[in-house]
């Protein structure tokens, strides 16, 4: 009896062996060292049929890379309070990402903000913001204090900042070998406007001891097991980050109460660092005399190898370092990938760029897979740790299939890698160039 063949998707095929996937799909032979492919006429013909046009500049196309027009797969799902085209990766706990074209707003609206939860949100009907309290304690405070939200609003100066929040695993689905965790594409990022008080002002009111080195948060989210005594996640930041002007205890987003799914009624916001440091449903902050050791702070959670490793390597916990400032990155938000334009027309491009604790110094786009780059117009940030908007207009020399790639360079001269940065076991910090597919017709 013959065995029934199992059909697999393009992402699974490329995840197993990207160079072999090139050969099977396109008949394309590739050099594993240079990552460049040798496209025969038959391979070009096969790709053209699938892409809907001849791939212009195909000689520059990196090997083992899924064409952008085929890479953006995801199943739309209607999540209450969210745009209907948001993509659900997991529903227990909720993990939902935003397609790139929905992030075109300069300030991210609530219905287009990604959701990354480690546990279950507290029941909204049981949340009374008037009774909500925040306790500051720990080994490195002079005296513990508890504040109501009204206390925070009346006792401390209010501040508002636009702040980038990005999941440490944003872009995980591109890593090969595949890494464990939610397979985020490019949409686990946002830049909303947050209002609250500076964490620094509250910590100074409590009084810090000289041995204060870290803070750790505790929220009221519920472990997926339902066990009320089990802490879902308790991460934090070193004191230098906690004491920055833009580090907020926030109660409002975009001028309104924080949405329930995003931490209502109180949360931390640390712009430029992994979103997991910005604890939601905030109830307690512990000031530690050591690096915080709560759940998701130890082992390999939100850590990368301290030194580069080969793909697939088994890295001991002792050789893993905590992720702090996120790397430089950019996103094309207009047009939507797969757009069609007529030959002779210029295509307007726009998007955002950000660089963790730094600023973006330069922004470029390419239509020939990085063989040449064109400078984009880059705006300054609204404030420190906000993303920066860019614009460009590109022209195409002939009809066919193209990809527009975006590359940002930070204020220390570090640029986004063309395809993928160094592999790591958990698939963190993928800041490869974002790309969209464009078809040029006569």
Query: What digits encode the pLDDT tens for the residues 133-152?
Result: 999 999 999 999 999 999 99
Q: What's residue 305's pLDDT?
A: 97
Burial code (b: 16+ CB inside 10 Å, e: under 16) for 70-103 equals bbbebeeeebeebbeebbbbeeebbbbbbbbbbb
User: How confident is the prediction for the chain on average, in pLDDT?
Assistant: 91
Number of neighbouring beta carbons within 10 Å of residue 342: 10
Query: What digits encode the pLDDT tens for the residues 14-38?
Result: 767 777 777 777 766 665 554 455 5
Q: What's residue 36's pLDDT?
A: 54
Structure tokens at 226: 């339902």
Q: What's residue 75's pLDDT?
A: 47
Q: Is 70 helix (H, G, I), strand (E, B) or coil?
A: helix
Query: What digits encode the pLDDT tens for the residues 116-134?
Result: 999 999 999 999 999 999 9
Q: What is the DSSP letter of 367?
A: S
All domains of the chain in start order, with CATH: 10-51 (no CATH), 87-322 (3.90.420.10), 329-441 (2.60.40.650)
| 124 φ/ψ angles, rounded to the nearest 5 degrees | -60, -35
The pLDDT > 90 percentage for the chain reads 76
Number of neighbouring beta carbons within 10 Å of residue 195: 18
Q: Which residues of the chain have pLDDT under 70?
A: 1-12, 15, 27-47, 49-50, 71-78
Strand partners, 390: 351, 378
- Predicted structure pTM score: 0.87
Q: Is 120 helix (H, G, I), strand (E, B) or coil?
A: strand
Strand (E) or helix (H) holding 10: helix 10-16
Q: What's residue 11's pLDDT?
A: 62
């Amino acid at each position: 009896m013959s065995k029934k063949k199992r059909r697999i998707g393009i992402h699974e095929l490329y995840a197993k062996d990207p160079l072999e996937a090139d050969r099977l799909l396109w008949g394309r032979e590739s050099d594993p060292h240079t990552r460049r492919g040798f496209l025969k006429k038959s391979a070009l013909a096969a790709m053209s049929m699938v892409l809907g046009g001849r791939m212009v500049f195909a000689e520059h196309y990196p090997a083992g890379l899924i064409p952008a027009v085929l890479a953006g797969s995801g199943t739309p799902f209607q999540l209450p309070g969210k745009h209907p085209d948001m993509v659900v990766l997991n529903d227990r706990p909720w993990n939902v990402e935003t397609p790139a074209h929905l992030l075109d707003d300069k300030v991210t609206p609530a219905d287009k903000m990604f959701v990354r939860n480690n546990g279950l949100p507290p029941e909204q009907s049981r949340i009374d913001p008037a009774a909500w309290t925040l306790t500051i304690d720990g080994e490195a405070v002079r005296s513990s204090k508890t504040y109501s939200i009204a206390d925070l609003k009346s006792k401390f100066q209010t501040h508002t900042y636009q702040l980038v929040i990005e999941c440490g695993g944003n872009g995980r689905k591109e890593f090969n070998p595949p890494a464990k965790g939610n397979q985020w594409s490019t949409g686990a990022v946002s830049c909303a406007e947050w209002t609250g008080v500076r964490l620094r002002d509250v910590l100074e009111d409590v009084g810090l001891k000289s041995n204060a080195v870290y803070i750790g948060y505790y929220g009221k989210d519920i472990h997926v097991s339902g066990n009320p005594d089990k802490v879902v996640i308790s991460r934090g930041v070193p004191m230098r980050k906690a004491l920055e002007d833009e580090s907020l205890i926030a109660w409002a987003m975009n001028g309104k109460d924080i949405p329930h799914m995003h931490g209502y009624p109180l949360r931390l916001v640390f712009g430029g660092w992994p979103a997991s440091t910005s604890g939601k449903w905030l109830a307690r902050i512990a000031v530690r005399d050591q690096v915080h050791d709560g759940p998701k702070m130890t082992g390999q959670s939100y850590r990368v190898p301290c030194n580069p490793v080969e793909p697939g390597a088994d890295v001991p916990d002792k050789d893993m370092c905590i992720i702090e400032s996120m790397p430089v990155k950019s996103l094309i938000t207009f047009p939507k990938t797969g757009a069609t334009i007529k030959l002779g027309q210029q295509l307007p491009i726009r998007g955002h760029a950000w660089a963790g604790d730094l600023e973006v110094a330069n922004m470029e786009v390419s239509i020939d897979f990085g063989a040449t780059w064109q400078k984009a117009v880059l705006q300054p940030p609204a404030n420190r740790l906000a993303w920066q908007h860019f614009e460009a207009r590109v022209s195409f020399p002939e009809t066919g299939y193209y990809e527009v790639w975006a590359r940002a360079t930070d204020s220390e001269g570090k640029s986004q890698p063309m395809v993928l940065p160094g592999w790591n076991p958990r698939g963190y910090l993928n800041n490869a160039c974002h790309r969209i597919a464009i078809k040029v017709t006569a």
